[in-house]
Structure 1
Amino acid sequence: MNILLVTEYLPTGKRPVFQGGVQARSFFVSEYLRKINNLRILNSNAGSIEASSISLLRRALFAIRVMLSPIDFKPDIIEASNTTTYFPAFILAKRLQVPVVAWVPDILGKSWLKNFSLPVAVAGYLAERLSMALSFNHFIAMSQATRKKLVNLGVNEKYVTVIYGGVEIAKMNKDRGEKDVRPTIISISRLLKYKRLSDLVRAVAEVKKNHPSVRCLIIGEGPEENNLKVQITKHKLQKNVFLLGNMPHDEAMVRLKRAHLFCLPSVVEGFGLVTVEAMAAGVPFVSAGIPATREITENGKGGLLFEPENVNDLAKKLNMLLDDKILYEKKIQEGLKLAKRYDWAIIAKQTEAVYRKAIASH
């Protein structure tokens, strides 16, 4: 099967650096699919493009390049993987007269207006709404929560298949090694407003009262970095909270395995890949109890859920797992068992099956 994947940015090399779940999913699924298919990737040359006003022009130029791109082979199927790529990939598919699938990690909806600068918010909101109204041959939703949002937008549910994100089970179960000496909480996330990492910093200030040596590692980059630095200084956590920036995925996974807890306070997630990676690594999580996280963890298997945006509840749940060794061990075993269902090899096969279905019905 000839597959053309249209994605805005995709890390390359033996040690890829992921800046979000879209990149990770596109990378791993493409790696598996190319083993038995002829797969080509059409993506931006940039390693990433921040959601800033100036980025709108670069994204527009990329969209034009996709629509007018000379393709040196005839794909059997085209997949578009985010808001920037949906419309141009759809136009390219019509031009080539081939079926096109939209992979949808999440529908931000009004969250665009709450969490981004006005030009980006308006452009993102309109692009998302208009793209989801296009007659794609099929939609792949990353969770049931995302599927519901698609159906609420008017997408016929018979054209929506849920395929979860995944994890490299064998690698994550291997060489878990020793834990850090200090009680360590880790978060791996883009530093965006809706990720609510400032809530984690404030919660660490509370946890420090019971665990003075607690350490919090935040891996990722983004526009919230300066705000986080202010919060760290304000709460006198310079020796407790560390912003490590981006790093290769394999290095981030080593850090994850050595940590005692993983935390994702985000209030907007279509899936939450790192939560599954944490479970597979035997690291209990403390995450905001939003619909997608409740879904993929089956209401908290492998960790504890806290009330979104409630710093006191977050600190309470972190302390519970640090203090209760029986509960901690129970959550490790729950996570290891649950994570087995999220395997990239299985997910790639499910994705390939959707492609074949779309081709057959075109």
Structure 2
Amino acid sequence: MILVIIATHYLPHVGGLELATFHLAKELDKQHNEVHIITPSPDPNKNTTPIHMHRYPIHTYPDEGPIRAFIDGLTFFKKTVKTIKEIKPDIIHAQNITNSIPAYIAWKKYHIPYTICIHGNLELMGPFLPASLKRFWPQLPHIKEAAQIITLTNEMATQFEKELGTKPVVIPNGVDLDRFYPAENNEMKKSASPVILTLSRIDNKKGLEYAIESMKKVHAKFPTAKLMIVGDGEYRSELEKLVEMNMLSATVEFTGLIPNSEVPVYLRNADLFLLPSLYEGLPLTLLEAMACGLPVISTPVSIAPEIITTWKNGYIIPFKSPDAIYEAIIDLLSNPDKRRQCAENSFRAAKETMSWENVAKQYAELYQFILESN
């Protein structure tokens, strides 16, 4: 099978979508498919991979305004359609709705079916229609003509079925099990104190203030326990003020940004993973924490209710509840046997259902079904 993936962003820039595109392409290539990636994302290092890369950088700067950005986008779409004609793929995979526009053009001109994988909220999918007019989404031809729409979670699928009138297929992203795995039995933690880890951009949707507030009571029970907040963002200064106000400077640590290569190290040196977010698309860090064998505590965002079972591999907690966070942390820290069992269950779930090999097989089966149906 010859597959084209259209992605607005790609490596060497590192983000959830970029990594998802890379791992999907790599695993499909391993499964004896010919994979091409078309992207405007430049690569100054000119790295080579088994994947066929087609890079058409566009140089848009913020002060150039939306008109210039629109023109650059059209230029990329034109080059994408031309490249698709040259490749002659069996099927096209568009990462997000905006990239389905050139896929739709290729479908009309060359009868090549395409899928759309949506990685976020409908309101965020492209600049071509305001949220106030979202009732017209189902009539947009590049959405209507897609052979299949894919979402990452059942929650997202329900939202899109309501808005678009068609039910998407759900295929969650995977986790890189070559990088994310539990610490060896003989691998000593760098800290003897219990570490509760959060790993995210720091903004007001991450619910980190509730985690900080919970640490007042956690500290009373476990004086050496530490909340480690990994990441950075515009909301950090507000949280630092909250820490100082509650006299938790010795209990809450802000690491700032860390290199992507160090993420597995931080996870393997933690005791618990905490995701107190108010909203998430697909929290890749949650999957990575499970792959590293951590009990996970999360609000019911995104895929969390589908992969976390209270008492089995962690806790699902209510939104905006420092008390619920405290109770979950204390229960797991007070019961080493339960914590160990939750850790084993987390890793087992990640290994059996969340590998990129498994995800790629689901995509390959979907593509084959579409081709046979056409």
**TM-score with structure 2 length normalisation?**
0.78
Paired residues for 1:184-223 under 5 Å: 184-223=195-234
Partner Cα distance (2:243, 2:343) in 1: 29
Closer/same/farther in 2, CA of residues 94 and 150 from structure 1, 3 Å limit: same
| Of 271-280 and 281-290, the range deviating more from structure 2 | 271-280
Partner Cα distance (1:25, 1:125) in 2: 30
Partner Cα distance (2:114, 2:171) in 1: 17
Tell me the residue number matched to 1:154: 164
Residue 319 of structure 2, aligned match among 305, 308, 326: 308
**Residue 266, structure 1, aligned to residue 262, structure 2:** no
Task: Quote the offset at 1:61 in angstroms.
Answer: 5.4
Task: Quote the offset at 1:60 in angstroms.
Answer: 4.2
| Of 25-34 and 75-84, the range deviating more from structure 2 | 75-84
Closer/same/farther in 2, CA of residues 291 and 37 from structure 1, 3 Å limit: closer
Partner Cα distance (1:242, 1:202) in 2: 14
Task: Quote the offset at 1:298 in angstroms.
Answer: 4.4
Q: Which amino acid aligns with 2:28?
A: L
Partner Cα distance (1:88, 1:210) in 2: 58
Partner Cα distance (1:283, 1:241) in 2: 19
| Of 125-134 and 227-236, the range deviating more from structure 2 | 125-134
Task: Quote the offset at 1:63 in angstroms.
Answer: 3.5
Q: Tell which structure's C-alpha radius of gyration is larger.
A: 2
Unaligned 5+ segments in structure 2 are 44-61
Task: Quote the offset at 1:330 in angstroms.
Answer: 2.4
Residue 241 of structure 1, aligned match among 252, 257, 263: 252
Partner Cα distance (1:59, 1:262) in 2: 39
Q: Is the 8 A contact 1:6 1:42 kept in 2?
A: yes
Q: Is the 8 A contact 2:6 2:99 kept in 1?
A: yes
Partner Cα distance (1:131, 1:308) in 2: 32
Residue 32 of structure 1, aligned match among 3, 12, 27: 27
Q: Deviations over 1:188-208 (max 9, x none)?
A: 223333222232233234322
Q: How many residues align?
A: 341
Closer/same/farther in 2, CA of residues 206 and 128 from structure 1, 3 Å limit: farther
Task: Quote the offset at 1:168 in angstroms.
Answer: 3.0
Tell me the residue number matched to 2:137: 130
Residue 45 of structure 1, aligned match among 30, 41, 45: 41
Partner Cα distance (1:125, 1:235) in 2: 42
Q: Which amino acid aligns with 2:156?
A: T
Provide the secondary structure at the position in 2 that maps to 1:172. coil
Partner Cα distance (1:271, 1:190) in 2: 14
Provide the secondary structure at the position in 1 that maps to 2:202. coil
**Residue 79, structure 1, aligned to residue 93, structure 2:** yes
Residue 167 of structure 1, aligned match among 175, 178, 188: 175
Q: Which amino acid aligns with 2:363?
A: T
Provide the secondary structure at the position in 1 that maps to 2:371. helix
Runs of 4+ in 1 over 6 A off after TM superposition: 53-56
**Residue 345, structure 1, aligned to residue 357, structure 2:** yes
What is the identity percentage for the equivalent residue pairs of Structure 1 and Structure 2? Answer: 23
- Root-mean-square deviation (Å): 3.3
Partner Cα distance (2:270, 2:281) in 1: 24
Partner Cα distance (2:275, 2:366) in 1: 30
